[in-house]
Chain A
Amino acid sequence: MKFLDYAPAPESQALLNLKSDYGLFINGEFTAGRGTPFQTINPATEQQIAMIATANEADVDAAVSAARRAYNGVWSRLSGSDRGKYLFRIARLVQERARELAVAETLDNGKPIKETRDVDIPLVAAWFFYYAGWADKLDHAGVGPNPSSLGVAAQVIPWNFPLMMLAWKIAPALAAGNTVVLKPAETTSLTALLFAEILQQADLPAGVVNIITGDGSTGQALVNHPGVNKVAFTGSTSVGRAIARSVAGTDKKLSLELGGKGANIVFDDAPIDQAVEGIVRGIFFNQGHVCCAGSRLLVQESIHDDVIDRLKRRMQTLRLGDPLDKNTDIGAINSAEQLARIRELSDLGQQEGAERWSADCEIPENGFWFAPTIFTNVSTSHRIARDEIFGPVLSVLTFRTPAEAIAKANNTPYGLSAGIWSDKGSRILAIADKLRAGVIWANTFNQFDPSSPFGGYKESGYGREGGRHGLAAYLKPAVRSGSRSLAAADHATTPGSKKSASASKKSASAEKAAK
């Protein structure tokens, strides 16, 4: 055995205490769903992990009603600092149970434990900590003084970062004073249900967060429910389009975070070894199941061969296999359906004349796997240069001048992310200015932070998550009585003494409740 065939180093599952069946989390309690339950499987082994309930329309209605009652009765009356206390408590509980959540996420999603342990779960805690701090500072959220919450938020999240997407949705919604009904993706409901247990531990008032599981029809019933004030969706562009259509004409506020085909642009003066790392992180992080993945590599023609050579060498050191092994870099594809799509698009890439190369790696017998793959000689008209593959597949294109790089990077219906690699600061700023993408990374890729807004241009959606902007998606300006001018209204809120006195009284009584 060679040293590089590192001996197995599996993370223990002993910490996990999973139930065999999970119900819906409505009004602070687990209840059976009225739809047909379905199994959630480990995509690395195809073994069943647990049975998950399906929420039918009646269940959706019960969840929305519970959220409405909690909104009217408790949550909208609580002071910001008290909402913050709950969020801080949730954040701390996530940290305390981090290892358990990481193992569960890896089992259910197929992503490597080193990512759930070092990226997903720490970011979940960070998101709750960040928005906990905002809860009593909403005057500074950018929507004017005394902003008000929206009401009940319906949130539908994808399977690629299950718990992280939950945190991105729930933390700002609760901080802003809304209550929530959240539907996790069908294939990855598990950690959302463990999170429901955390909410019970945190003594969050019943109904403030409701988690309902099921397939697309459950999600559809949720976003179409008339009792919902806000719809937030992360997922595919086609579903996002359908949601936009169904929400149109209602007074529901909508934010969409959809697909992407991010350009990772490498100039000839780039720090080359770090750029190669960035390319790897850009497309092979989370098996490429990342909406902001750097799935199009735009490399300056003069260094193309060198970059590809280095990239291939680096890819040979990627370790594909048991997601629970601490040394695994590439885990399982989340579902058979997704694997089929990746295969179909990759085969198409080959038929269209692009040159396919995959790292040598042993593919396990069971489960859904796809070796890290790059396509060279790709042109902008190829499907693999235009369609989101959502897998560990990189399309390599070249450019000659900065102008061509910008034109090619922007030549996509999407506009979520881009990366620029150059040692020249002025070039980075100039290029970033001309790229139509919501997030642009310079000399790095796939970095997330709760204080940084995230979202797309064009078909990648609208609205921002994270930062102050993410908060604004769950707020509306203070309702003002008709005749008063804006200036007068502003003035009326400035003498803070009276207001803060009453607020502190309110928070004192609510503190008891929060303890």
Chain B
Amino acid sequence: MTSTPLATYQPDQRGLALIGGEATDANLRRYLHGIPGIDAVGLEARAADLGTRSIKTSSKRWAIDTIIGLIDLTTLEGADTPGKVRSLVAKALVPDPGDPGCPRVAAVCVYGDMVGAAVTALGSAHAAGGTAGGEVQRVRVAAVATAFPSGRASLAIKLADVRDAVAAGADEIDMVIDRGAFLAGRFGQVYDEIVAVKDACRRADGSMAHLKVILETGELNTYDNVRRASWLAILAGGDFIKTSTGKVAPAATLPVTLSMLEVVRDWHRLTGVRIGVKPAGGIRTSKDAIKYLVTVAETVGEEWLTPHLFRFGASSLLNDVLLQRQKMTTGHYSGPDYVTID
């Protein structure tokens, strides 16, 4: 029982023009299956090759600070409380109490019912409306929604989930696609849902929360599926494509992220529009994160290394990066007791 028929939402016209008609299963299938395939061995070899770049001294210092500024510091637990979220926000604002020069993270990422707590805790540091600026770097609030992580709920529930989070002050919505529908070939349904969720991101003043579309690549299983789902999400109007919920293994991998970056690069060639990419889950070390920066820079260009176009969905990554940062400043390694737990 859906409250509003899907057809009433305004789809992205550019996407429709490319598909060459209505977003029906058949039209979408024709379009998505016309995209060149991916050779898994070749893709993984390329990702491994990018992973061998050696980032040293000044480049490493820049990379470390950039990584911090690209993190969506995340807590997505059943046990989350306002207290836990306050602690997370404090960490987001002052990642390293020993070094006031340490940059802030891009956003905190929480469940929808914790958005209020996050907004309150951020106070004046909240980047309301998603516009960062001024002297102080502001922090955004991202909310997972649409019956995250499985997405198994009616559309009405999913949309209500989104509207609640937006109304509570979320700047960004991380939605999940209906993987079941995608794998069953009901591309039209996946497309329509993204269009509807995008519409639900509209605030009372007409501005929009940013929409990140989670593909859950671990459930899509093949790189060809990841590529098609990426195109589908972008055609339907997603601002960001995101690998995973973090609740399914494997989560983000370098080859999967590379394949999504290639889609984003091709979309930019085709339309001039820049779409963001967010690998999430499983990135725990600075070394891994640097491989992602290299992959972004060499695939789509380093102009993508800004919070508007690239994010890491991670929690434990931040402390490893901070340890590396302290090492670069002081010249020696400290230990886990020299960074704060959130």
Contact = CB atoms under 8 A, between A and B. Distances in A.
B36 A443 contact: no
Contact of A270 (B36, B43, B56, B58): B36
A8 B302 contact: no
A139 interface: no
Interface in B14-49: 36-39, 41-43, 45-46
A274 B63 contact: no
A444 interface: yes
Contacts of A327: 53-54
A6 B302 contact: no
Nearest to B63: A3
A9 B58 CA distance: 11
Contact of A7 (B45, B56, B293): B56
A114 B52 contact: yes
B42 A7 contact: no
A443 B41 contact: yes
Contact of A274 (B46, B55, B60, B62): B46
Question: Could you tell me the dominant secondary structure of chain A's interface residues?
Answer: loop
B302 A3 contact: yes
Given A3-B305, A271-B36, A326-B52, A277 B45 contact: yes
B298 interface: yes
A3 B53 contact: no
A4 B302 contact: yes
B55 A273 contact: no
Contacts of A326: 52-54
Given A4-B297, A118-B52, A270-B36, A444 B60 contact: no
A317 interface: yes
A274 B38 CA distance: 7
Contacts of A272: 36
B43 A6 contact: no
A487 interface: no
A1 interface: yes
A271 B45 contact: no
Contacts of B66: 3
Contacts of B302: 2-4
A273 B262 contact: yes
Nearest to B302: A3
A423 interface: yes
A259 interface: no
A466 interface: no
Nearest to A9: B54
Nearest to A6: B59
Interface in B43-83: 43, 45-46, 52-60, 62-63, 66
B255 to A, nearest CB: 11
Contacts of A8: 56-57
A277 B39 CA distance: 11
Interface in A440-459: 443-444
Contacts of A4: 297-298, 302
Contacts of A21: none
Contacts of B36: 269-273, 423
A326 B57 CA distance: 14
Interface string A301-330: 000000000000000010000000011000
A443 B41 CA distance: 9
A49 to B, nearest CB: 24
A372 interface: no
Contact of B42 (A1, A6, A277): A277
A326 to B, nearest CB: 4
B131 to A, nearest CB: 24
B49 to A, nearest CB: 8
Nearest to A268: B36
Contacts of B63: 3
A484 B39 CA distance: 55
A33 interface: no
Given A3-B302, A3-B305, A270-B36, A9 B41 contact: no
B54 A271 contact: no
Nearest to B60: A7
Contacts of B262: 273
Given A3-B59, A3-B63, A317-B298, A273 B54 contact: no
Interface string B265-308: 00000000000000000000000000001000110001001000
Contacts of A5: 59
Interface in A1-44: 1-9
A278 interface: yes
Interface string A112-138: 001000100000000000000000000
Nearest to B265: A313
A444 B49 CA distance: 14
Contacts of A274: 38-39, 42-43, 46
B58 A7 contact: yes
A2 B38 CA distance: 31
Nearest to A326: B54
B37 A6 contact: no
A9 B42 contact: no
B135 to A, nearest CB: 24
Q: Which of A6, A269, A272, A443 has the most CB of B within 10 A?
A: A6
Interface string B161-190: 000000000000000000000000000000
Contacts of A118: 52
A2 B66 CA distance: 12
Nearest to B42: A274
Contact of B58 (A1, A271, A278): A1
Given A274-B39, A443-B41, A9 B56 contact: yes
Nearest to B61: A7
Given A270-B36, A274-B39, A274-B43, A6 B55 contact: yes
5 contacts: A8-B56, A118-B52, A269-B36, A274-B43, A277-B46
Interface of A: 1-9, 114, 118, 269-274, 277-278, 317, 326-327, 423, 443-444
Closest 10 CB pairs of A and B: A274-B42, A9-B54, A326-B54, A271-B39, A7-B59, A274-B39, A272-B36, A423-B37, A7-B57, A9-B56
Given A274-B43, A423-B36, 7 more contacts: A3-B63, A6-B53, A6-B56, A7-B57, A274-B46, A277-B42, A423-B39
